[in-house]
Structure 1
Amino acid sequence: MEGDNKLIYFNKSSIKLGELERYVITYDLYQGDDIPADIRLDSIWVKIKNTTKLSYKAAYLLGPFILYCDVRAKDYENSRKIISSMDKPVFQPNLQAQQNFLTELSLHEIKPRYVWIVDVASQIIFNKETKVNFEISIGSSKASLKKRTRCDDTSSGKVCNTSFIGLSVQRLTTAEIWEVPPAISLSQKSHLVILTHGFQSNVSADMAYMMEEIYKSQMNFPNERLVIKGYMKNICETEKGIKFLGIGLANYIINELYDDSVEKISFIGHSLGGLIQTFAICYIKTKHADFFKKVQPVNFISLASPLLGIATGTPNYVKMSLSMGIIGTTGQELGLKDTTYSDKPLLYMLSDESLINVLFQFKRRTLYINAINDGIVPLYSSSLLFLDYSQLLQKLAGEITSSCDPFFQPPVDPRKAPPNQNNNDSDNNKISTSSWNTFWKSKGNQSNKKSKRLMNTSVIKSMKSVVLPPCPDPEFFLNPDARATTIIHDKIYTEKDLPPPSSTLYEGTTLKGDDKTKKTRKEMEEIIARRWHKGMDWRKVVVSLKPDAHNNIIVRRRFANAYGWPVIDHLVATHFKRDDSDTPQKLNNRSIEEDTRTVTNSVEPNKLFSWLTKIEDPGAYRGGLVSTASHFASSWISKHSSVTD
């Protein structure tokens, strides 16, 4: 072929924290209905090189300077079985400084057009000023990729080999990837979907897969337009506290996203994002009382969110670090430390009925919960404490045993546990007393291996696997039927399903937590959980994911975190399947009826909830050790050299 061993395309670029670039490669093999007699099916080759200086490889506080890359056919669907291994997507989750990622684009069947998508995402976590430099080259052979001089630098970003007239490359930036797709109808109504990232995370890269999957459901809504957005300015600020982050998100929604076309709104939060969006909702309800009268709240969804904090389900060294403020105000809030404006933790104050009663208005309230392999957020916290733990352990028994998990012990036999004292037939749906007592006692005993396994894996391992995730094997991508069951529990819980409160919570007829009595953290968690359940039902979807479950649950990277695909599929199918605004949701023959209570405030909000609405001095929002160290490292580097060279 003319053009053998020649470069076809070359481009230099760089991406910062939360940024990704997409290269859409289109190759017209032939035109017209007739297949040319001299057609050639020679492969095309792609190389991505991380050109960051090798000296920055270990500069984690400024980076890490790592790229994630994947290449797939445009029509690839994770639910479709792949017959030819040449159609299998390829990816590199950990492209270090000065390393290359090389892959072949095979033309193994005769068809008029081939289209591939190449994604390159930044793995920077700690610093929003630095960037990862890279080059992408496309050639007619492996040899053509060895010497960039075959494609003049002045042609950067253009197809530079005239022998490949049918090949074109479209480069898309992060902003272009997040653009709202063209409307499929003339309707001006819009459904605003807010995605909220977690601690030391970002929306733009970490939640891009979720965004694109939700947009695929647009065809189900012919009379409205989905608009998916996320607040980008909270990156590198997540140590400053839930209030700081929540106010930023609320103001973004009110000042930048809302207009007269917005008729519906949904919130989807991952990890800390679940609490951030809760604060934002309460803030909007308090400061802008008419908002949820004009805009219909549809979905409130959290994924692995520490709704009860992480005070008791973590090792002692983590608790001490939280209390000391090693991750700033946020860590102290998650540790259920009393706030500067009250003798109660922020999460307790946020669960005030007059605040969260706005959640009554949401059509659906769903919690996605990691049962295992999540060392960041304990199961009890993301599930609002109350689950049928005996049933959950039985379902997990086979999987954990087959994986030779060292923490696993057989599930508790209910016949050997204290009998259920509740014999009322109308309460058959309640969490059994034996199940609850077994969990509650083991929760206080951190030496119990079974409870430890359900509540916490290694925090250190989980942090490491954000950038270095254990990836699925090739069979996972080729054969959907070979994938393990992910959704292991899906049930709607109401206040009536809850077991009786622990005896220590009561003082007369009043919950002790509602007076000035000082509570242990474990007692405070139960009090907060019961406040969230008061008069509200919650759909709780428990999932069993392989490590890193905390980031797999949102598919942080399309293929490296592919174990979470079924979770996103479930989320989209359940919450964006069709326009059912007038149809109650049904699950297990139980119907969820919308709460029609009117949200009112009899007291001027700035007096009743001054702790929520008062804008603090910037110094009140404290960063932690990581952000401080990253800032100093960045300042030092900027004085001595340029990271962006």
Structure 2
Amino acid sequence: MGDEIPSDLTLDSLWLKIKNIENVTLRAAYLMGPYVLYADVRSNDYHHDQRLFVSADQPQFESNIQPQQDFIAELSLHNLKKRYVWVVDVASQILFTRQASINFAITVGGSKESIHTDNATNPRLGVQSPRLKVDRLTTADLWNTALLSKSVSVKRKEHLIVLTHGLHSNVTSDLFYLKEQIERTQSHHDELLVVKGFTENVCKTEKGIKWLGTRLAEHIVHNLRNEETVKISFIGHSLGGLVQSFAIAYISYNYPTFFENVEPVHFITLASPMLGTVSDNAVYIQRLLAMGIVGRTGQDLSLQSYNGLKQPLLQTLSKSSALKRILRCFRSRTLYANACNDGIVPLYTSALLFLDYDDVLDKLGMDTEDIETDFFQRNFVSPITKAMNILVPQRFSQNGTKIPVASMFDSAYSVLIPPLPAKSYITDPNTRKNVVVHDKMYTEKDLPDEQSPSQSGVMNSSNVLLRTFNLAFGGQYKNLEEQIARNWHEGIDWRKVIINLKPDAHNNIITRRRFSNAYGWPIVDHLIENHFSNEGNNTRTWKLDPILKTEDFDWIVKPTVDSVFDVGPTGMICTFGEMLGNLKSSTFEGINENLATTSYDQEELFKYEERLDGNGGILP
């Protein structure tokens, strides 16, 4: 009978092991990687809105699997049902090179002892039991789920959603959680949601906003858009907010009919330095940025002019008719900004300066003294932490502690990882506090008049949230940043969502990794609910304003001349890292430890090995 329980059925747990099988010497090879893996395992029906009462149902994860370390998880079979499904995610944590890859092995066994067999040359790779089925999805598979589900015989209109990563980051792994949550709303849309990003800017983010934005724009026009594309949305994290802004201006000027045929729907930034990062940096860090320690990108963010530009790029971009005529046509323009615990992008620049700071401070529910202590600790006591955050934003958390003496060339990443969420936070939604402290529409009318008393109140505010803006450089850049902020607001409404996340807020805001950055779940939920959950069939018309003929567009059309010096020292880290990666491939090949084999007949159910590349992807 089909429903009869087999006589040999057992409810003993299965065991999963994920091992980083790179040579142990690579733990110190920071520039070549770092060779670290993130992994998690969860049931197929898991969602973070569920309350989990049974410990066996709780997800398990490890964010820092170093070479020759492993992650072991118990897969419980505590309920009697026909089918158990688990999802295992494995992501590369490589930062500095696209050439390196991480070898790893996954083993599933019927006992904990069986998975301890560790032999890289074991010929018994594959599924050893008819009761177990394994579906392996590569990065390409995961990022093409919408297209794979597309019916060949039925053409469907498409809503293209472009995700753009920040400095020293990538799309495929760092923004995967966001992509996945957007796609879960497909049933609310008439159009097919196609969530994409541009992967060729990875390890090149120091080359300047113009260089990055030009490449993104050409990719959108020539590779992402097709005859079914009727809508487009942009979501940018950190530097990605500025890169997508330049890309829009570039498309608007060079392909003027693009946005006449494709409706601009949502423009969203998450912790993006829309005014640069001048005032939040210590003086010497600002000088280093201006001199190009982070290449052309650092010069852009420090509001410097170069290559014959008459003004800083951000100043020109913020007032360009090529950009603003498109921005006005978006259905929504939303800025998500961290009130504190960011350490890379301060509130005033991610919120376009003009904001009800007193309300934000009140809603934070913290004593001013506490915030001031954190503020001075972050910006004055340990400015080197700030510098390292700019260089490697994924690795350094702002928890007020001193960073170790070991340099970034060592295995500092092993101790400098983001504070992990408490177990109760992951398993019980009721323990999560509301992190949105301010959510309001701002129009040009909300801005104080120039030279007015209220304007003076902003520019000389004693509010601790504006302290960096008002103290730095004796006001040298304040007027320029204010003007850029006014440019962004001219004729454009902005929804400003201010949030209070725990460290590391800059990466938590996008949930860079599903569980280690779980403090960002409410923000992704807010973004999804307010932008992608209730669209329906609401067609509309839009009309583009003409581009001003009197405007000088050399900043867009003038070719960018590539130079090795464009990337600065941090960009050279990527280049040097690739050189070391190539050396590693030839030097360490075949020297992984070979451990003794043990036979477990039917106990060892499944084993395979893979390589993850520097872009977070699985190599064939």
TM-score range, shorter chain: 0.7 to 0.9
CA deviation after TM superposition for structure 1 residue 235, in Å: 0.2
CA distance in 2: counterparts of 1:406 and 1:622, whole angstroms? 37
Which residue number corresponds to residue 492 of structure 2?
536
Equivalent residue in structure 1 for 2:237, among 270, 281, 293: 270
1:564 aligns with 2:520: yes
CA distance in 2: counterparts of 1:621 and 1:361, whole angstroms? 38
User: Are residues 82 and 636 of structure 1, via their aligned partners in 2, closer, same or farther at CA, if it must alter by over 3 Å?
Assistant: closer
CA distance in 2: counterparts of 1:178 and 1:242, whole angstroms? 25
CA deviation after TM superposition for structure 1 residue 637, in Å: 6.0
Q: Does the residue aligned with 2:177 lie in a helix, a strand or coil?
A: helix
1:89-168 to 2 correspondences below 5 Å: 89-148=59-118, 153-156=122-125, 158-160=126-128, 164-168=129-133
Equivalent residue in structure 2 for 1:613, among 553, 557, 567: 557
User: Are residues 220 and 500 of structure 1, via their aligned partners in 2, closer, same or farther at CA, if it must alter by over 3 Å?
Assistant: same
Which residue number corresponds to residue 422 of structure 1?
none
CA distance in 2: counterparts of 1:49 and 1:338, whole angstroms? 48
Which residue number corresponds to residue 356 of structure 1?
323
Which residue number corresponds to residue 576 of structure 2?
632
User: Are residues 406 and 138 of structure 1, via their aligned partners in 2, closer, same or farther at CA, if it must alter by over 3 Å?
Assistant: farther
Deviations 1:179-234 (A, max 9, x none): 1331489452000000000000000000000001000000001x211111000000
CA deviation after TM superposition for structure 1 residue 525, in Å: 0.6
CA distance in 2: counterparts of 1:643 and 1:386, whole angstroms? 54
Q: Does the residue aligned with 2:16 lie in a helix, a strand or coil?
A: strand
CA distance in 2: counterparts of 1:328 and 1:374, whole angstroms? 22
CA distance in 2: counterparts of 1:636 and 1:257, whole angstroms? 33
Which residue number corresponds to residue 47 of structure 2?
77
Of stretches 88-97 and 624-633 in structure 1, the one that deviates more from structure 2 is 624-633
Q: Is the 8 A contact 1:274 1:303 kept in 2?
A: yes
User: Are residues 255 and 319 of structure 1, via their aligned partners in 2, closer, same or farther at CA, if it must alter by over 3 Å?
Assistant: same
CA distance in 2: counterparts of 1:189 and 1:463, whole angstroms? 37
User: Are residues 262 and 471 of structure 1, via their aligned partners in 2, closer, same or farther at CA, if it must alter by over 3 Å?
Assistant: same
CA distance in 1: counterparts of 2:32 and 2:145, whole angstroms? 32
Which residue number corresponds to residue 204 of structure 2?
237
Residue identity opposite 1:561 in structure 2: N
CA deviation after TM superposition for structure 1 residue 450, in Å: 11
CA deviation after TM superposition for structure 1 residue 602, in Å: 5.1
Structure with higher RCO (Cα < 8 A, 6+ apart): 2
Which residue number corresponds to residue 178 of structure 1?
143
Which residue number corresponds to residue 616 of structure 2?
none
1:521 aligns with 2:477: yes
Residue identity opposite 1:608 in structure 2: D
Uncovered stretches (5+) of structure 2, i.e. residues with no partner: 398-412, 456-474, 591-620
1:244-255 to 2 correspondences below 5 Å: 244-255=211-222
1:547-562 to 2 correspondences below 5 Å: 547-562=503-518
Residue identity opposite 1:241 in structure 2: G
CA distance in 1: counterparts of 2:365 and 2:285, whole angstroms? 28
User: Are residues 70 and 346 of structure 1, via their aligned partners in 2, closer, same or farther at CA, if it must alter by over 3 Å?
Assistant: same
User: Are residues 227 and 636 of structure 1, via their aligned partners in 2, closer, same or farther at CA, if it must alter by over 3 Å?
Assistant: closer
Q: Does the residue aligned with 2:567 lie in a helix, a strand or coil?
A: coil
Q: Does the residue aligned with 1:191 lie in a helix, a strand or coil?
A: strand
Residue identity opposite 1:289 in structure 2: P
Deviations 1:42-75 (A, max 9, x none): 0000111111111111111111110001010011
Deviations 1:550-607 (A, max 9, x none): 00000000000000001111111111112356489xxxxxxxxx9x553213539xx8
CA distance in 1: counterparts of 2:266 and 2:571, whole angstroms? 33
CA distance in 1: counterparts of 2:258 and 2:371, whole angstroms? 49
1:238-637 to 2 correspondences below 5 Å: 238-357=205-324, 358-398=326-366, 407=373, 458=386, 460=388, 464-465=395-396, 468-502=417-451, 520-580=476-536, 582=538, 598-601=544-547, 603=549, 608-619=552-563, 622-635=566-579
Q: How well do the aligned residues superpose, as a CA RMSD in angstroms? A: 2.8
CA distance in 2: counterparts of 1:97 and 1:400, whole angstroms? 44
The alignment's TM-score, normalised by the length of structure 1, stands at 0.79
User: Are residues 503 and 521 of structure 1, via their aligned partners in 2, closer, same or farther at CA, if it must alter by over 3 Å?
Assistant: farther
User: Are residues 178 and 400 of structure 1, via their aligned partners in 2, closer, same or farther at CA, if it must alter by over 3 Å?
Assistant: farther
Q: Is the 8 A contact 2:235 2:268 kept in 1?
A: yes
User: Are residues 537 and 630 of structure 1, via their aligned partners in 2, closer, same or farther at CA, if it must alter by over 3 Å?
Assistant: closer
CA distance in 2: counterparts of 1:53 and 1:620, whole angstroms? 32
Q: Does the residue aligned with 1:289 lie in a helix, a strand or coil?
A: coil
Deviations 1:118-150 (A, max 9, x none): 11100000111011111111111111012246x
Deviations 1:242-293 (A, max 9, x none): 0000000000001111111100000000000000000000000000000000
CA distance in 1: counterparts of 2:117 and 2:564, whole angstroms? 54
CA distance in 1: counterparts of 2:21 and 2:8, whole angstroms? 39
User: Are residues 232 and 400 of structure 1, via their aligned partners in 2, closer, same or farther at CA, if it must alter by over 3 Å?
Assistant: farther
Residue identity opposite 1:166 in structure 2: R
CA distance in 2: counterparts of 1:168 and 1:580, whole angstroms? 37
CA deviation after TM superposition for structure 1 residue 628, in Å: 1.2
User: Are residues 388 and 642 of structure 1, via their aligned partners in 2, closer, same or farther at CA, if it must alter by over 3 Å?
Assistant: same
CA distance in 1: counterparts of 2:308 and 2:452, whole angstroms? 29
1:203 aligns with 2:171: yes
Q: Does the residue aligned with 1:60 lie in a helix, a strand or coil?
A: coil
User: Are residues 212 and 258 of structure 1, via their aligned partners in 2, closer, same or farther at CA, if it must alter by over 3 Å?
Assistant: same
CA distance in 2: counterparts of 1:32 and 1:541, whole angstroms? 54
Q: Does the residue aligned with 2:134 lie in a helix, a strand or coil?
A: strand
Which residue number corresponds to residue 59 of structure 1?
29
Q: Is the 8 A contact 1:301 1:366 kept in 2?
A: yes
Which residue number corresponds to residue 642 of structure 1?
587
Deviations 1:518-569 (A, max 9, x none): x931111110000110111000111111111000000000000000001111
Aligned length: 544
Of stretches 194-203 and 611-620 in structure 1, the one that deviates more from structure 2 is 611-620
The alignment's TM-score, normalised by the length of structure 2, stands at 0.82
User: Are residues 142 and 405 of structure 1, via their aligned partners in 2, closer, same or farther at CA, if it must alter by over 3 Å?
Assistant: farther
Q: Is the 8 A contact 1:131 1:643 kept in 2?
A: no
Residue identity opposite 2:360 in structure 1: L
Residue identity opposite 2:86 in structure 1: W
CA distance in 2: counterparts of 1:272 and 1:212, whole angstroms? 21
Which residue number corresponds to residue 186 of structure 2?
218
Q: Does the residue aligned with 2:219 lie in a helix, a strand or coil?
A: helix
Q: Is the 8 A contact 1:130 1:644 kept in 2?
A: no
Uncovered stretches (5+) of structure 1, i.e. residues with no partner: 1-30, 409-445, 507-518, 585-593
CA distance in 2: counterparts of 1:296 and 1:267, whole angstroms? 12
Residue identity opposite 1:535 in structure 2: G
Q: Is the 8 A contact 1:491 1:539 kept in 2?
A: yes
CA deviation after TM superposition for structure 1 residue 639, in Å: 4.8
User: Are residues 456 and 393 of structure 1, via their aligned partners in 2, closer, same or farther at CA, if it must alter by over 3 Å?
Assistant: farther
